[in-house]
Structure 1
Amino acid sequence: MIKLSGTLLNVYTSNDFTNKETGEIVRGKNKIQLLLEIPLKNGDSRKELIDLSIPSSKVALYKGKENEIVEVDVATVGKAIFYGV
């Protein structure tokens, strides 16, 4: 399992959308915004904002924890590149 750790900035639900082929309205996904601090080789760091989709069952884990450091279990879709730090 991979864990991301960062400052939780927001918990929200994205907009609903309509499937153009079927006309079905699909509910927006639950998401969190994390501000990550990425260390650089020269000793500096940079900040990166990411949005992560989360299951409805996990929204309660993050609501009310805005501006706190949280850990999120994540999985990858597609190819991931890993390197040692």
Structure 2
Amino acid sequence: MITLQGQVLNIFKSDDYKNARTGEVTVGRSRVQILGENHLENGDVQMQIFELSLPEKFQSEMNEYVGHVVKFGIGVGATQNGKTYLTISQKARIEFIK
């Protein structure tokens, strides 16, 4: 499992998506934005915003952590068209850091 640590910036629900060809509507999902550090090979630190799918079971807990630093396990997946996405693991435990 990959661990992500960073400051919880924002929680929001993405817009619903309507497939133009089929008319099928996919309901928007809850998302969380985390500000984390990416340590580069040259020793510099790049600040990066990670946007993850937020499972329903973590929504109320994550709302309490907005503005604070947390650490938790994430999963990485791929869609049928090859795009990758990050999600909080269903088995994750959100740990308050500061």
Aligned length: 79
Runs ≥4 residues deviating over 4 A:
none
Percent identity of equivalent pairs:
31
Q: Deviations over 1:6-50 (max 9, x none)?
A: 111001110012233442322101100011111223332110111
The answer to whether structure 1 residue 34 and structure 2 residue 34 are counterparts is yes
1:1-85 alignment, distance < 5 Å: 1-78=1-78
Q: Which has the larger radius of gyration?
A: 1
> C-alpha separation between the residues in 1 aligned to 2:44 and 2:20?
46
User: Shift of the alpha carbon at 1:74?
Assistant: 1.0
TM-score (norm 2): 0.68
> C-alpha separation between the residues in 2 aligned to 1:72 and 1:24?
34
What stretches of structure 1 of length at least 5 have no aligned partner? Answer: 79-85
Cα-Cα RMSD: 1.9
